[in-house]
Amino acid sequence: MHRDQFLLPPGLVYLDGHSLGPLSHVADRRVRALLRSEWGAQLIRGWTESDWIALPQRVGEKIGRLIGAAPETTLCADSTSVNLYKVLAAALALRPGRTEIVSTSDNFPTDLYIAQGLIDQRAHGHALKLVEAADLAGAIDGNTAAVLLTHVNYKDATLLDMAGITAQAHRAGALAIWDLSHSTGVMPLRLEEWRVDFAVGCGYKYLNGGPGAPGYLMVATQHHANVTQPISGWMGHARPFAFDARYQPAPGVARYLAGTPPVLSMSALDASLDITLGEDIDTIRSASMALSDALIDNIARVCSDPELVLASPRDAALRGSHVSYRHPHGYAIVQALAQRGVIGDFRAPDLMRFGLNPLYNTSLDTECAAQALAEVLASRAWDRPEYLQRNRVT
């Protein structure tokens, strides 16, 4: 749709936007201008003259529109992991007497680690109850404080029913926290309508904010005044520049800020977001489903290796925007594909993932990727010692 708005190296088939979105021309221009005419020229005055101080709210509102959140409920701040810590702690405080956090055993590890760390630290007898996605219904009960789930599974792209599970959590008196890292930017979301209590997500994947771009959080309006989040830093104070010795949380969602925003990377995210916001999100979703279907069809047509197995749902309506395949030599295959200019990624033990963002991916990408995969499999080009050597980042 907007491939010319991204700086993708010519000839590269980039199917890894679910891990790191590419550099956009607007982000490139914004950061360059910011360096020279804001940081370089304005120095400390940039906080006021370029309104850096309001970036978390400004960028938060843009993301809020993408996820269908109510106005003034979304902030851009910190990493997804840190934001999750803040909102999970707030959720537990809102449900005293309930001791369980329900999640899925295949949830993204950082989500589970954050929950485990918070439980250990609080020592209030909380427990993390992990179940298969299919067993969620039976796991949510009167002892559930919060349901903590990722909307699109990072491994196989399976989509959970956010509206249905949130309603079920509420019927049991529990709160619903959703991680939108693999959803925002590639599909319509209606967090306000679905009555989601808290949400977090990632800025550097489908939102193209750049490596280490800050994440975001959403706190439904009815929870704003009732709790204070645990990282009670000065940016979330009612009057940060009063330099009061005593913490007093800001009204509204602003209390979920902690420290000074990363102006450079938040501005890159801000700039890139306009590309997604300039497109109709239902159109993006239709194009994403068509592209992932095309990839699956093309691979089925040209690849005959019996060890290659589709791990994602075959029905696009049940899938996010990436497609995963199992293969016992998945890691080496992903390396061999990269050598041929087709970039996907690998998740242990045997998953190859190929992400599709209609903003810059085309059906030609799906044909080239399928063809390269067929060649790598047929020639066993993956079977080389250098492809078996695991890098620190996969």
Ligand X SMILES: *Cc1c(COP(=O)(O)O)cnc(C)c1O
Which residues are annotated as catalytic?
108, 179, 204-205, 353
According to the binding rule CB under 6 A, does residue 181 interact with ligand X?
yes
Q: What element of type H or E holds 216?
A: strand 215-219
Stretch that binds ligand X, among 55-63, 179-187, 340-348, 362-370 (CB under 6 A): 179-187
- Smallest separation, CB 165 to ligand X (Å): 16
How far apart, in whole angstroms, are the C-alpha atoms of residue 344 and residue 169? 35
Where helices occur in the chain by DSSP H, the ranges are 25-33, 41-42, 46-49, 55-66, 80-94, 109-122, 136-139, 162-171, 263-277, 281-302, 330-339, 363-379, 385-388
Sign of the torsion formed by the C-alpha atoms of 345, 349, 350 and 355: negative
- Smallest separation, CB 107 to ligand X (Å): 7
According to the binding rule CB under 6 A, does residue 208 interact with ligand X?
no
- Smallest separation, CB 178 to ligand X (Å): 10
Total residues contacting ligand X (rule CB under 6 A)? 13
Asked if 279 and 5 count as a contact pair (C-beta separation under 8 A), the reply is no
Site for ligand X in 346-365 (CB under 6 A): none
Tokens representing 266 are 């938040």
Instruction: Pick one of 16, 38, 179, 345: the residue that binds ligand X (CB under 6 A).
Output: 179
- Residue 316 DSSP label: G
Q: What element of type H or E holds 15?
A: none
Of residues 18 and 237, the one with the C-beta less far from ligand X:
18
Of residues 180 and 220, the one with the C-beta less far from ligand X:
180
Give the strand pairing for 100-104 and 144-150.
parallel
Of residues 199 and 220, the one with the C-beta less far from ligand X:
199
Rounded to a whole number of angstroms, the distance between the first and last alpha carbons of the chain is 28
Site for ligand X in 133-162 (CB under 6 A): 150, 154
According to the binding rule CB under 6 A, does residue 14 interact with ligand X?
no
Of residues 115 and 303, the one with the C-beta less far from ligand X:
115
Instruction: Pick one of 30, 98, 182, 322: the residue that binds ligand X (CB under 6 A).
Output: 182
| Closest listed residue to residue 339, CA positions, set 106, 11, 108 | 11
Beta bridge partners of 101: 128, 146
Stretch that binds ligand X, among 32-40, 117-125, 174-182, 376-384 (CB under 6 A): 174-182
Ramachandran angles phi, psi of 241, nearest 5°: -95, 15
Asked if 182 and 206 count as a contact pair (C-beta separation under 8 A), the reply is yes
Of residues 57 and 107, the one with the C-beta less far from ligand X:
107
79 three-state secondary structure: coil
Tokens representing 197 are 């209590």
Tally of residues, the chain:
394
Tokens representing 43 are 């120095």
Of residues 153 and 276, the one with the C-beta less far from ligand X:
153
- Smallest separation, CB 380 to ligand X (Å): 32
According to the binding rule CB under 6 A, does residue 215 interact with ligand X?
yes
Site for ligand X in 74-113 (CB under 6 A): 79-81, 108, 110-111
According to the binding rule CB under 6 A, does residue 202 interact with ligand X?
yes
Site for ligand X in 286-305 (CB under 6 A): none
- Smallest separation, CB 47 to ligand X (Å): 25
Of residues 56 and 215, the one with the C-beta less far from ligand X:
215
- Residues making contact with ligand X (CB under 6 A): 79-81, 108, 110-111, 150, 154, 179, 181-182, 202, 215
